[in-house]
């Protein structure tokens, strides 16, 4: 028989773990609300549509490349 041996019928969870869990949950909710508020403040400028698009540029045709023979001389 050890000194720390307790009867499982007597040992029950206390109020302290419940209060800590509820406090952590409340902190998470408050942090989420704050983050959402900060995200709403972010202002991304819209692209300017006043200027017309420049004329499309024709793609240049690639010049054919001669296959190398593998010798460097």
pLDDT, residue 58, reads 73
Question: Three-state DSSP class for 21?
Answer: helix
C-alpha to C-alpha distance for 39 and 24, rounded to whole angstroms: 22
Chain segment 26-66, per-residue pLDDT in tens = 999 999 999 999 999 988 888 777 666 666 667 677 777 77
Q: What is the mean pLDDT of residues 1-21?
A: 79
Chain segment 12-24, per-residue pLDDT in tens = 788 999 999 999 9
CA dihedral 45, 49, 54, 56 (to 10 degrees): 90
pTM recorded for the entire structure: 0.47
* Residue 34 φ/ψ, nearest 5 degrees: -65, -45
Residue 68 has pLDDT above 90, yes or no: no
pLDDT, residue 29, reads 98
């Amino acid at each position: 028989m050890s000194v720390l041996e307790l009867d499982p019928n007597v040992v029950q969870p206390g109020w302290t773990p419940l209060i800590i869990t509820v406090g952590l949950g409340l902190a998470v909710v408050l942090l989420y609300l704050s983050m959402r508020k900060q995200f709403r403040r972010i202002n991304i400028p819209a692209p300017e549509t006043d200027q017309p698009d420049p004329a499309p540029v024709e793609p240049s045709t690639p010049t054919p490349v001669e296959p190398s023979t593998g010798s460097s001389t």
